[in-house]
Amino acid sequence: MRNTLIRLFLAAAASTTLLASCGGGDVSPNAGEVRLVNATSEFGALDLYEGSDRLTPGVASFAVGNYEDLNKGGYTFSVRGGVAGATIATLDASVAKNTHQAIVAYSNGGTPTLTMIDEEEDDADKGSAKLRFFNTAATDSGNVDIYLLDIANACSTLNGTAATPIATGVSGLQSGFTTINPSPAAGYRLCVTAATDKTDIRLDTALVVGDRRVVTVILSRSSGVLLNGLILVQQGALTQALNSSARVRLAVGVTTGNTVTASVGGVSLGLSSIPRTITSYKLVPSGTVTADVSISGATSVPTSITLVGGTDYTLLVAGTSSVPTLITDNNALSANTAKPVKIRLVNGTNGALTGALGPAQLAVGSTRLEYTEFAAASPYIFVESSTATAITLDVRTTTNAVLCTSTSTLPAAAGVFTVFVLGDVPPQAPAAPPICLLVTDR
């Protein structure tokens, strides 16, 4: 009997060791569990650290890592990434025993940030679900309203309807959950709009919420005001709900006397638009789509272009060609408080013989950008605000000839601008002098 008891004791000890090594039990009775949600797109994969100890390696953008066991107490967490593995953001937070918590990494107004959220909300009652929202991009996209529609309805149908939002003016993490009906199998249509404006769609996607589930929808920034969604099930999986739309505007730089009609993906950007016209952004489907451009009523020339969801673009039609140039607009705000103004040049100046004048250079006060070829955009630069005194903007050729000049004040708050230089250079006839258009992108 004594040998039998010894064998049973040894077997039980081995079993306990095996469970612990496979993650089947906590490190100690005082342990809690922490995982990383990477809600950023600009840093690539992130590693989660506690002090100098790496807890979770390589959590990809818009993904979640595994839970890590930590004894209760205070910790300094950080995320590291990039080629050099530099520290991107840090967080001092406490871990409670027998709890689950998620550390969300995100950027807001260009500032990398970590926020810990609890994953211990009581399950919803049978036949219901719980839902909350975390707007991590309030600085970039502003406060938002959120609607749940039938999946068959597009968010573009909101305007003019009596649909009411499930949440209004969301900025940051909601303090509580809203009880809703579980979604149909195909999900709800999740519509995120600018606060109080049903026409300004920031995200249009599907949202599946199961019975009794507790869900946090994380809204993260793109390159401008559009948002991406991440659907985090409490103590469960994370599902991407990325933006399937882009924003495109039309810039008309054709020669004087002509007009441009253009559409992208079936969405009209401009109808008989005259030279020096910059239209407002329109929401269009992302992916590979067709841009149709017609100059002065001529047969349109279809051009295949590829749009990345959540991204802003300018479709530039300049010179005499109906083949447009697609320019990517980075409308993320400056994170530099000393230089809050972000500005660049788009060169749409038509030359006399070649159809393009060639490189042009923008000067913002005493700061000069690099030369920019025809039908192209310069890199952005960051400059100080100029609210009290007007600052001179001028565009010159490589021979230092002034194409256009203007003066303007620049805001103290963060802003993004493009200087479009558009127009004809003699001896084109009828020639109109080039002009500088300072356009507020956001």
Q: What one-character-per-residue DSSP string does 1-57 give? A: -HHHHHHHHHHHHHHHHHHHHTT-S-SSTTEEEEEEEE--SSS-SEEEEETTEEEEE
pLDDT-derived band at 425, boundaries 50, 70, 90:
low
- Taking the alpha carbons of 284, 442, 335, 134 in that order, is the dihedral positive or negative? negative
Q: Compute CA distances 187 → 59, 118, 184, 209, 285, whole Å.
A: 27, 25, 5, 7, 20
Amino acid 407: pLDDT: 86
In whole angstroms, what separates CA 181 from the centre of its chain? 29
Beta strand 367-368 with 376-377: parallel, antiparallel or unpaired? Answer: unpaired
Identify the CA nearest to 202 among candidates 286, 144, 153: 144
Checking if the pLDDT of 431 tops 70, the result is no
Tell me how crowded residue 23 is: count the other CB atoms within 10 A of its CB: 12
Comparing 34-48, 169-183, 262-276, 339-353, which segment has the lowest mean pLDDT?
339-353
Average pLDDT, the chain: 88
Q: How much is the pLDDT for 436?
A: 84
Position 377 pLDDT exceeds 80: yes
The predicted structure's pLDDT at residue 239? 97
Q: At 26, is the pLDDT very low, low, confident or very high (cuts 50, 70, 90)?
A: very low
**Residue indicated by tokens 């038509």:** 350
Cβ-Cβ contacts under 8 Å for 316 (sequence gap 6 or more): 251, 253, 324, 325, 326, 327, 346, 348, 375
For the cut 80, the answer to whether the pLDDT of residue 357 exceeds it is no
Residue 172 has pLDDT above 50, yes or no: yes
Structure tokens at 119: 């994953």
- pLDDT of 37 > 50? The answer is yes
**ω into 112 cis (within 30 of 0):** no
Mean pLDDT of 47-68: 97
Model pLDDT, residue 29: 73
Per-residue confidence (pLDDT) for residue 82, from 0 to 100? 73
Q: Is the pTM of this model over 0.75?
A: yes
Average pLDDT over residues 310-328: 92
Express each pLDDT in 121-152 by its tens digit.
999 999 999 999 999 999 989 999 999 999 99
Mind listing the pLDDT tens digit for each residue in 79-121? 999 777 899 999 999 999 999 999 999 999 888 999 999 999 9
